[in-house]
Amino acid sequence: MSSDHTSPDAESDQALLCWSEPPTSPWHEEFVQVLKTHLSEAVIKSAFKVNEKTKVTLIGKDYTGIGIVKSCEEDGKNFILTVLMGEQKAAPISNSPSDPGALLVDQFTTEEQEAKILQDLEDSIPRRFSFPKLCMALRCLLPLRA
């Protein structure tokens, strides 16, 4: 995964902003300053211009949110982004810092589902030989002894 990465400023409320423009291009990552947050919206300060309607992921200390850039206004050398937040999840409390590059998994397969999938695969594979048929085939190939 390719990324543009800046280091965080310890004095402000920080979050990691991840996005891709267009969606098929490499992902960019940047630590941003969170200026305001609401239930449905976040206002952040970024060093990069992010186009409107770009899907972004905002990863904070205690949450992860997915949203779309509503506006991007120039503010000196920085940009003020307003992000409409859609799906938000509280981060699990742990002693270890989270890895923003880690894969997020929404659904898991249970052991029962896995066993059924494997059984279905096993049932769908055609069997070429079963042992009784193999033995009969070998007898036909061997010359008869008188």
Domains of the chain: 14-90 (2.30.110.10)
Residue 33: which of 60, 52, 5, 68 has the closest Cα?
A: 60
CA distances from 105 to 77, 87, 102, 108 (A): 36, 14, 9, 7
The 3-class secondary structure across the chain, one letter per residue, is CCCCCCCCCCCCCEEEEEECCCCCCCCEEEEEEEEEECCCEEEEEECCCCCCCCEEEEECCCEEEEEEEEEEEEECCEEEEEEEEEEEEECCCCCCCCCCCCCCCCCCCCHHHHHHHHHHHHHHCCCCCCHHHHHHHHHHHCCCCC
Residues 101 and 133: their CA atoms lie apart, in Å, by 54
Cis upstream peptide for 132 (omega within 30°): no
Tens digits of pLDDT across the chain (146 residues): 334 444 444 445 899 999 888 767 888 899 999 999 877 899 999 999 999 999 999 998 888 888 999 999 999 999 999 999 886 666 554 545 555 555 555 566 788 888 888 888 777 766 554 555 555 666 666 665 55
Query: Which residue is it, tokens 């992010």?
Result: 50
* Residue whose entry in the numeric block shows the structure tokens 């397969």: 109
Q: Which two tokens stand for residue 85?
A: 């937040």
